[in-house]
Chain A
Amino acid sequence: DAGITQSPRHKVTETGTPVTLRCHQTENHRYMYWYRQDPGHGLRLIHYSYGVKDTDKGEVSDGYSVSRSKTEDFLLTLESATSSQTSVYFCAISESRYGYTFGSGTRLTVV
């Protein structure tokens, strides 16, 4: 296995509630990414991290925040979930130019 796990795999939450998704890696890779996948849009970058406490925004960062206090963990938080944030969320890790390794995804439904 690639050594990347996402939790939870599935979550249903109510509009307005905070939600945190976790990405955990055992590869000691420097770079970690959060994407969302929606029909017709492919994979869109939300936030990424290039080291502990070093993060930056992607193309669809509004409504999301991230934290990385340890190399192995990258957390994605929806401060107040909305229905437009219903999606499948993927975490990915990389160390070099050899592409990403993806987690298995978290399916989030906001009702």
Chain B
Amino acid sequence: GQQLNQSPQSMFIQEGEDVSMNCTSSSIFNTWLWYKQDPGEGPVLLIALYKAGELTSNGRLTAQFGITRKDSFLNISASIPSDVGIYFCAGQNSGGSNYKLTFGKGTLLTVNP
């Protein structure tokens, strides 16, 4: 099946620093999504990308859909303590009526105040 390689697995940064994480796939996707999971909660959608090359921002978050459709990255600028959590990338192919997502294994982000 399809697999996503997400890196890094974990990051320890100081408040105010910028963060970058990425996902690569062995196959192409039509949609890339980025989720954040707070402790004890389910993942919440941050950004969705629908076209190759697309660059989308949501506040301090910026994500890009790779031109090859096999990768995506997420940047967080000027990190703050509430950015702590696990970030997941996900790829989706919406062929037919199937909207299943394939998830990366996550990046655990720790922000030191």
Q: Could you tell me which A residues sit within 8 Å of B by CB distance?
A: 31, 33, 40-43, 45, 48, 50, 59, 90, 92, 94, 96-105
Contact = CB atoms under 8 A, between A and B. Distances in A.
B95 to A, nearest CB: 10
Classify the secondary structure of B's interface with A.
loop
B30 interface: yes
B97 interface: yes
A98 B94 CA distance: 10
Contacts of A96: 94, 99
Given A99-B92, A102-B44, 7 more contacts: A42-B105, A59-B1, A97-B31, A97-B50, A97-B99, A99-B31, A104-B41
B48 A102 contact: no
Contact of B43 (A40, A43, A59, A94): A43
A97 B103 contact: no
Nearest to B47: A99
A97 B105 contact: no
